[in-house]
Structure 1
Amino acid sequence: MASTSMIGQDVRLALPPPASEPALALELIELELSLDGFATEQDGFSEAVRRAAKALEGEFLFDLPASGLAEDCQRIAALRIPEANGNGMKIVFALLDGDGTGIRVEDPSAETTGLKNFADSFVGVLERMQ
């Protein structure tokens, strides 16, 4: 954020994110805020992500070792959360960082296309079982 001073008051100008950093969708921001205080809880990554998904009326699908699918990442959890526009659900990923102290949330990317397809299939199986 840029800062300028006007007559002794500090005024902050909100700048858009750089072009290299796409803006997060509203539902991802909500999920990240739900996970903000993670900091290596006793019950771990899976439970923190499960609670955050439930708070957004979403679903925790599964988590697994990252196995090189994402940079600086130990584990990846697949979630299905409501879209901000209210038109259905979408798959997103919560990623435990390499230090195990923080969680970031991402939409599926080119690197995680296979995992997203697996999550979609997983949802299909769950829906048939119900």
Structure 2
Amino acid sequence: MLPTQTVDETPAAISAGEPALPLELLELELSLDGFSGDDADFAEAVRTAAAQVGGDFLFDLPASGLADDCRRIAALRVPKGDDGALAVVFALLDAEGASIRVENPEEKTKDLTRFADAFIDVLQRI
């Protein structure tokens, strides 16, 4: 007889709790799925995807070692949660220029996150 698995034993990624990717990031990644372009098309694809999820494109720049397997990185501000608060996330063009992934800020990108927050502050003052 095979052992049964109860709800309490279900791995966190597939449980009724928080999904592996927050819904906002999943929506953004789905908007970017199928990207087929180059560095020049990256900014436009990310700008369009951000607008589709009710977010803002802030800027993009060469990744310069800020993330692994990454050629360009774009900072976005997207809605997070039910309260409509906006959070900074990054869209990364892979080293081959073939696909885009979306990530939350992490330790390696903390300086870029601070820059994005300062950029937002300047825009809000204008």
What TM-score does the superposition give when structure 1 sets the normalisation length? 0.80
Alignment of 1:1-130 (within 5 A): 17=13, 23-40=20-37, 44-129=41-126
Q: 1:107 offset after TM fit, Å?
A: 0.1
* Unmatched tracts of structure 1, length 5 or more: 1-13
Q: Percent identity?
A: 57
Alpha carbons of structure 1 residues 128 and 58: separation in structure 2 relative to 1, 3 Å: same
Distance (Å, rounded) in 2 between the aligned partners of 1:33 and 1:85: 20
| RMSD, aligned α-carbons | 2.1
Which stretch shifts more, 86-95 or 57-66? 86-95
Distance in 2 (alpha carbons) for counterparts of 1:89 and 1:16: 25
Report the more deviating stretch, 77-86 or 46-55.
Answer: 77-86
Tell me by how many angstroms 1:82 deviates. 0.5
Question: Following the alignment from structure 2 to structure 1, what is the Cα–Cα distance between the partners of residues 86 and 72?
Answer: 22
- Kept in 1, the 8 Å contact 2:75–2:116? The answer is yes
Structure holding more strand per residue = 1
The runs of 5 or more residues in structure 2 that have no matched partner are 1-9
Distance in 2 between residues matched to 1:114 and 1:108, nearest whole Å: 10
**C-alpha contact 2:38 2:98 (8 A) present in aligned 1:** no
Distance 2:90 2:64 in 1: 14
The AA in structure 2 aligned to 1:115 is L
